[in-house]
Amino acid sequence: MDLLDVASYDDISLNGLQIAMSDKEIKKVAFAVDASMDTITAAADSNADLLFVHHGLFWGSAIAISGMHYHRVKKALDNDMGLFACHIPLDAHPLYGNNAQMALRLGMTSYDPFGEWRGKNVGFKGKLPFPMTCPEIARLLGFSYENGLRTVSFGKDMVETVGIISGGASSDVRDAIEQGLDCYVTGEVEHSDFSLIKESNMNVIAGGHYQSEVFGVKAMMRYTEKELGIESVFIDAETGL
């Protein structure tokens, strides 16, 4: 998909069409964060012609089509349903990406590139429209403790500047600290980063890997519906992680 510029990213994910379907008109697209038996089955049951995911089935090395992997692939093929995966390009997209969409959800009218990954910036940083507490930020983003939210708050009570990188980007808190940001929003926070966060008087909001990566998938679903005129459905397979 040219819109997401998948070819320009050196990503371990096999971005693009991972499972092909017959040469037919795509009348319905299902969207999900992860390609799993649950989401593939739900997409097939909804009569989708294509399943768009953030986390696909192929990750840069050869894997035997056996076991559960076989059953996932077979389910898609049996239903003549394609699988399209978009990993880092969907995190990094300046409008439809996970990180840009979180910035927009927080009311940032402008934001700058943040967080380098293999020579490219994948996150964004900016100023909030008004100072907020960490619980207010988490609430605006739809994060909940039941679905994986973790907060480590040693910084300002009222946050004005935020850096955002979705998913498993705990170590990038170093960039947020070095750039003097008040808060870092990501998907996961690692034990090994705790002391650095505390000693740097930093705030970290880790919304859960899954919850931090629904934004781009849903944005692409809205684009597909409104701009392409194709019926779309979101399959929520929350992991709580």
**DSSP symbol at 155:** S
Contacts 24+ apart (CB under 8 A), 219-224: 219/95, 219/96, 219/97, 219/101, 220/31, 220/52, 220/86, 220/90, 220/96, 221/29, 221/31, 221/52, 223/3, 223/96, 224/29, 224/31, 224/52
* pLDDT score of 62: 85
* pLDDT score of 114: 97
SS3 category, 195:
helix
pTM of the model: 0.95
Per-residue pLDDT in tens (0 to 9) along the chain, 241 residues = 679 989 889 899 999 999 999 999 999 999 999 999 999 999 999 999 999 999 999 998 889 999 999 999 999 999 999 999 999 999 999 999 999 999 999 999 889 999 988 889 999 999 999 999 999 999 999 999 999 999 999 999 999 999 999 999 999 999 999 999 999 999 999 999 999 999 999 999 999 999 999 999 999 999 999 999 999 999 999 999 9
191-223 pLDDT per residue, tens: 999 999 999 999 999 999 999 999 999 999 999
Residues 6+ apart with CB under 8 A from 201: 154, 155
Strand 82-85 relative to strand 16-19: parallel, antiparallel, unpaired?
A: antiparallel
Cβ atoms within 10 A of the Cβ of 105, count?
Answer: 14
Q: How many whole angstroms from its chain centre is CA 147?
A: 15
* C-beta of residue 92 within 8 angstroms of C-beta of residue 165: no
